[in-house]
Amino acid sequence: MALMKTYKHLLISTRSHLRIITLNRPKSKNAINREMYDEIVCALNEAANDDNIVITAITGAGDYYCSGNDLRNFNDAGGDLGETIKKASSNLQKFVQTFFEFPKILAALVNGPAIGIAVTTLGLFDVVYASDRATFSTPFSSLGLTVEGCASYTFPRIMGPGKASEILYFNKKFTAQEAKECRLVTEVIPHDKLDRVLPELEKLSNLPANSLLYSKALVRNQEKENLQKAVEAECKRLEERWQSEDCLNAVIAFMSRKNKL
């Protein structure tokens, strides 16, 4: 195996045929800044291309699983706005594609609150284990934004239209139990037993690799075209939204609340 890349915002480890990617910006509630977006794509590609890896798990360091897109990303833009928007959209599209094209079994271990893109991408995982302390929210509407992460395609199919509307349109926050009832979460685990999940996944990673990966390919290949269409439509819409008054006002309000704390 080639030496693994080192990461600034991720911890990477391997047990048997299980790769574990830990989001590691706990002081920022594991919010994803630009650098971290790139690192996650890179770490997933590394696992995808490593013949030793059968299952990949993503979890978070500290209390949060991941608080989603770091809204400071909106601040950092220098230079031409139109160009920045195009680049952000294309990066987001690449990020989401990396999830739905990921060829290994993909497991989430949601150790705490999950927000925004950290929730929507769960619809692209194979299994989602959640601590009973986890919560799930996608406050797109309150930020003047629109649905992303292929959730416009996956969430109504996973949850049914009603629950998908509540979380995607109405900013409803789901508990772990509610997320299980609507099938976004596969199993809810008492928080103090979370550490039993990774050994279990490690054991499963010893099953015949080709059986697991070919079965996943049979399932996923039927969706890829639809997922590709969904991510393209979502990103195109976000290019407009990011430049909208709705979004500008919401981000300014958010930042001024942040700065007062």
Query: Site residues (CB under 8 A) for a copy of itself?
Result: 105, 123, 125-128, 140-147, 152-153, 156-166, 168-171, 183-187, 204, 207-208, 210-212, 214-216, 218-219, 221-222, 226, 229-230, 233-234, 237, 240-241, 244, 246, 250
The CB-of-152 to a copy of itself minimum distance in angstroms stands at: 4
38 or 239: CB nearest a copy of itself = 239
32 or 128: CB nearest a copy of itself = 128
d(CA 13, CA 10): 10
170 or 199: CB nearest a copy of itself = 170
DSSP for 79-124, written as a single string: S-HHHHHHHHHHHHHHHHHHHHT--SEEEEEE-S-EETHHHHGGGG
Task: Provide the sign of the torsion angle of the four alpha carbons 219, 177, 22, 254, taken in this order.
Answer: positive
- One-letter amino acid at 103 equals P
Using CA atoms, how far residue 235 sits from 97, 137, 230, 239, in Å, is 12, 19, 9, 6
3-state DSSP assignment of residue 199: helix
Using CA atoms, how far residue 34 sits from 8, 46, 53, 209, in Å, is 12, 19, 26, 33
Whether the Cβ atoms of residue 10 and residue 56 lie closer than 8 Å to each other: no
The CB-of-79 to a copy of itself minimum distance in angstroms stands at: 27
Beta bridge partners of 139: none
7 or 129: CB nearest a copy of itself = 129
62 or 144: CB nearest a copy of itself = 144
The CB-of-35 to a copy of itself minimum distance in angstroms stands at: 28
Tokens of 54: 């059968």
38 or 246: CB nearest a copy of itself = 246
